[in-house]
Structure 1
Amino acid sequence: MFFSLSPLLYLTLSILFFRFVWVIPYPHPMALLVAGVLSFLQRRDRKLLFLKSAFRKNFLSVLPAMEILFFVGMLIASWAYTGVLLLMIQTGILFLQPDYFLPSLAIVSAIAAMVSGSSWTTAGTLGVALMGVAEVISFPQAMAAGAIVSGCYFGDKLSPLSDTTNLASSLTHVPIWSHIKHMLKTTCISFGVAIFGFYILNLFVWDANQVYDSTLQSSRILPDITNQISWFKFIPVILVFGSALFKLHIRVSLALGIVSAIAFSVMESGFHFDIVRTLVFGFESHSENEVLDRFLSGGGVVAILPTEILILAAVWFGAVVEGYGYLAEILIQIKNWAKDRSDILLSTMGTAFLLNMVTADQYLSLVIPARAFRSLAEEKGIPEKDISRSLEDSGTITSPLIPWNSCGAFMSTSLGVSVFSFFPFVFFNLFHIILSVTLLLVVKKNLKVHS
């Protein structure tokens, strides 16, 4: 078992080394590369066929996420170029109350994610604008990102339009509404506690009067900038979320947002080559507001490349761990350990988390545990809805908390804050994991006492 877990040990040590000993700009891709090489070298039987097969499978699983990241980079750049993003920031400043800023971010993000069925769509559009509001009023970026991610994943988890919710439901043959209803029992408690936590953090950690003064100051500056912006530029935002309601693929939704924003720009001032350059290299803001310039400048395809490299490094590491049998050995040991209901559900959650770390793809973190433990659960008489809930309690919830996972990389890239920075403030995800595991351990303890 220790030998099977050695790749994770190499990964942990490599991350610590490249972050604190030999500090480099992008420690995680290098750590994944080194850990994969060490895990490859220690195997006696190193047939490249196994590695190629696993790499191809993992690469194809994350390829849609890599494509979507390029769309998000172009969307941010196009919305900054055409003034859509600036208008969203101005609107947020007018309506978000500083005294309830963090709870408001979580609730607004949750509603948007529930309507669109996608945490990625919400973070890549509304989330970017909300981070702009936080930047303008000088609110800590890590806290704001934590609140947005919490709301995104609460809404995504309970949305009948969500791909992960539908996937967990279909894998376990549980009707979608039964699956959502079963998740409500714990998910709403976790989100309620998270909202209360954000309120306390907003109240005691940050000076509300300072935020309010900053808001007033920014409100005086922003109208001068946004007088020239027409409110019809909200149409790209409506198209993105509206298309999601019709279950169009996220690539289509983001493409509509990009094309419509560019179309309005061309209608107003004609076509300029700067539009193409902006989509590739990002937008450069030159206003009189240094805070806005710092936030609006960015986006584009080039800005996404470090994230794409990170995901490819994770695919390499996952290919070694899966191709040379490390993962299979771990799963065998876990299945041998699982004896009762609590063990099986804990094993499902633990395996989902492990796969989020190893494969960098949240879909695999749902598919593999469902296949591995569904038959075992049937033998023990465990309801299928318990398995489906456990899949989401770990596979969906932990995915944005891992920097090299496609979800963690996406959230970090879209919101402009590293996973390690916003990790302590993702109250919903963290508390929900603690609550789910605690409930299973309590049930296991009670069964032992009664037996």
Structure 2
Amino acid sequence: MIERKTPTLGIALIPIFAMITFLFTGIFMFEADPHIPLLLSAGVATVVAIYLGYSWVELEKGIVKSVSLALQALIILIIIGTIIATWLAAGIVPTMIYYGLDLLSPTYFLPAAAVICSVIAVASGNAWTAAGTIGIAIMGVGVGLGINPAAVAGAVISGCYFGDKISPLSETTNMSPGITGVELFTHIRHMLYTTIPALILSVILFFFLGLTYKGKGAGAEEVAQLQQSLGEIFIISPWLLLVPAVVIALIAMKTPAIPGLVIGSVLGAIVAVTVQGVAVGDILANMVYGFTMETGNEVLDNLLNNGGTEAMMYTVSLVMIAMSFGGILEASGIMAAIVNSLLKLAKSTGSLITTTVATCITMNIVACDQYLSILLPGRMYLTAYRKRGLHPKNLSRTLEDAGTMSSPLVPWNTCGAFMTATLGVSTFQYAPYAFLCIISPFVAIVYAYTGFTIARLPEDEENTIEIEEFEQNEPALQQSI
């Protein structure tokens, strides 16, 4: 039996530097997609892991385990592709755009978009559901008003992730306190100290950004022409909005995301056939290949030609490759070596929380999944927080401030890939406008060094580590993920 070596930091960083080099060279020099650079990075990680004494069978198991974590996300992504297609064919998204053009002006559109998406995400408990339903319509309205699509996507994502972060229905909102042993609503209340200020700052920034569109967006004549074109192509009726209302209500009533979204897709197909007169064969084709229509109006064509499971395969393949890379790093102990090295830098409360933020962001980049960016630091830093006399709710909050929030900013992360596929804007384009996702980690760091809202353990628990209970619950936590 080959003796396994514990990776040093230098060894552990080899596949990381390889990934950075391959991605930078591929994306910025050759304008390539990230798939092959990530695949090459996985190859380097495999060579390093074999050098450390791991067999291919062990690495393959790590890959399968890692990819399995993303399976639910991939299924949701495929279903969202069918929802986009059926809701377009059914006139549901066009109806949202039609009325949205009446209600929203370019000046106030961006802050309003962020607030609307946050409300929907709180109700649904899922950023992806909010982006895949109301987010698509908001993108259409924004384009119709002549607003930069990247800025619109940033507002949608900011609102969606605010709701996802504080909703008691959200998976990450339940996962973070579950890993750290904090009661759910204690965790949510503690998060409000960082999340509310971050949202307020984001809305203010969107307001000032919106002022730059005053007098520059689409004029009343252009908006009226767009509405007229939509009215000529589709039957527009507020009754069509019952379909997204049903989906949001189902998920708010704790219906699991997958069946809830499937119901939304089926309802969209039924409406397309019965209301818009689409042939059954055509709607089935739309669900696979996307809704297509040539109107001669470039703006309208960009709004309407979207969706389908085929359009999501680019993202599905990217996520699978990225998760394979992360699986190799975790199975070979490379990821743990990086996290443990970062932990050595934590000499104070401020540096410990800052290190947690850095680790969560690193895990989103390297492990390519927001669940791993919460799970791994949560498991590895719990003892350190307790030894320093810090209440675990500080850790659970930081996991969300950095892990949940930074995930849509990474193009090959499951969240970044999903948002790009759903909203039709690349991660690099919308990232500078995703204000909430950028601000939240900095708010966590400022609080860490000022001590503001940093809770300490009660005196009777000071310097005690309840790690045994955590280890007993770990298998159940892993299974729940």
Q: Shorter chain as normaliser: what TM range?
A: over 0.9
Residue by residue over 1:125-174, the C-alpha shift from the partner in whole angstroms, topping out at 9 and shown as x without a partner, is: 11111111111222111011111111111121121221111111222222
CA contact (8 A) 1:393 1:432 kept: yes
Q: Which residue of 2 aligns with 1:388?
A: 396
Q: Which residue of 2 aligns with 1:31?
A: 37
Task: Flag the 1:209–1:68 CA change in 2: closer, same or farther, 3 A.
Answer: same
Q: How far is 1:102 from its partner?
A: 1.1
The reply to whether residue 96 of structure 1 matches residue 104 of structure 2 is: yes
Question: Structure 2 counterpart of 1:30, which letter?
Answer: I
Question: Structure 1 counterpart of 2:38, which letter?
Answer: L
CA distance in 2, matches of 1:421, 1:408: 11
Residue by residue over 1:415-444, the C-alpha shift from the partner in whole angstroms, topping out at 9 and shown as x without a partner, is: 000000001111111112222123324459
CA distance in 2, matches of 1:29, 1:428: 28
Specify which of 195, 208, 211 is matched with residue 217 of structure 2.
Answer: 211
The reply to whether residue 244 of structure 1 matches residue 251 of structure 2 is: yes
Specify which of 288, 311, 316 is matched with residue 308 of structure 1.
Answer: 316
CA contact (8 A) 1:150 1:428 kept: yes
Shifted more, 344-353 versus 106-115: the winner is: 344-353
Question: Structure 2 counterpart of 1:236, which letter?
Answer: V
CA contact (8 A) 2:144 2:218 kept: no
CA contact (8 A) 1:236 1:256 kept: no
Q: Which residue of 1 aligns with 2:295?
A: 287
CA distance in 2, matches of 1:139, 1:192: 21
Count of aligned pairs between the two proteins? 439
CA distance in 2, matches of 1:53, 1:339: 36
Q: Which residue of 1 aligns with 2:427?
A: 419
Question: Structure 1 counterpart of 2:262, which letter?
Answer: A
The 3-state SS of whatever aligns with 2:95 is helix
CA distance in 2, matches of 1:176, 1:41: 42
The structure with the greater share of residues assigned to helix is 1
Q: Which residue of 2 aligns with 1:67?
A: 75
Task: Flag the 1:115–1:344 CA change in 2: closer, same or farther, 3 A.
Answer: same
- Normalised to the residue count of structure 1, the TM-score between the two structures is 0.93
Q: How far is 1:52 from its partner?
A: 1.1
Question: Structure 2 counterpart of 1:6, which letter?
Answer: I
Residue by residue over 1:270-291, the C-alpha shift from the partner in whole angstroms, topping out at 9 and shown as x without a partner, is: 7521111110011112335331
The reply to whether residue 225 of structure 1 matches residue 233 of structure 2 is: no
Residue by residue over 1:318-345, the C-alpha shift from the partner in whole angstroms, topping out at 9 and shown as x without a partner, is: 1222222211211222333334333332
**Structure 2: gaps of 5 or more residues:** 1-8, 453-481
CA distance in 1, matches of 2:125, 2:221: 34
- Within 5 Å, give how 1:372-411 maps onto structure 2: 372-411=380-419
Q: Which residue of 2 aligns with 1:202?
A: 210
Q: Which residue of 2 aligns with 1:17?
A: 25
Q: How far is 1:267 from its partner?
A: 2.6
Q: Which residue of 1 aligns with 2:437?
A: 429
Q: Which residue of 1 aligns with 2:145?
A: 137
Question: Structure 2 counterpart of 1:396, which letter?
Answer: T
Question: Structure 2 counterpart of 1:247, which letter?
Answer: K
The reply to whether residue 234 of structure 1 matches residue 235 of structure 2 is: no
Question: Structure 1 counterpart of 2:377, which letter?
Answer: P
Shifted more, 51-60 versus 289-298: the winner is: 289-298
CA contact (8 A) 2:98 2:230 kept: no
Question: Structure 1 counterpart of 2:249, which letter?
Answer: G
Q: Which residue of 1 aligns with 2:261?
A: 254
The reply to whether residue 345 of structure 1 matches residue 353 of structure 2 is: yes
Q: Which residue of 1 aligns with 2:274?
A: 267
Identical aligned residues as a percent? 32
Shifted more, 12-21 versus 34-43: the winner is: 34-43
Residue by residue over 1:104-135, the C-alpha shift from the partner in whole angstroms, topping out at 9 and shown as x without a partner, is: 11111111111211111110111111111111
CA contact (8 A) 2:350 2:445 kept: no
CA distance in 1, matches of 2:444, 2:23: 28
Q: Which residue of 1 aligns with 2:465?
A: none
Residue by residue over 1:16-70, the C-alpha shift from the partner in whole angstroms, topping out at 9 and shown as x without a partner, is: 111232333x2x1111111121232245235112211210110110011111100
**Structure 1: gaps of 5 or more residues:** 445-451
Q: How far is 1:181 from its partner?
A: 1.2
CA distance in 1, matches of 2:291, 2:396: 42
The reply to whether residue 332 of structure 1 matches residue 337 of structure 2 is: no
- Within 5 Å, give how 1:138-153 maps onto structure 2: 138-153=146-161
The 3-state SS of whatever aligns with 2:31 is coil
Q: How far is 1:212 from its partner?
A: 5.0
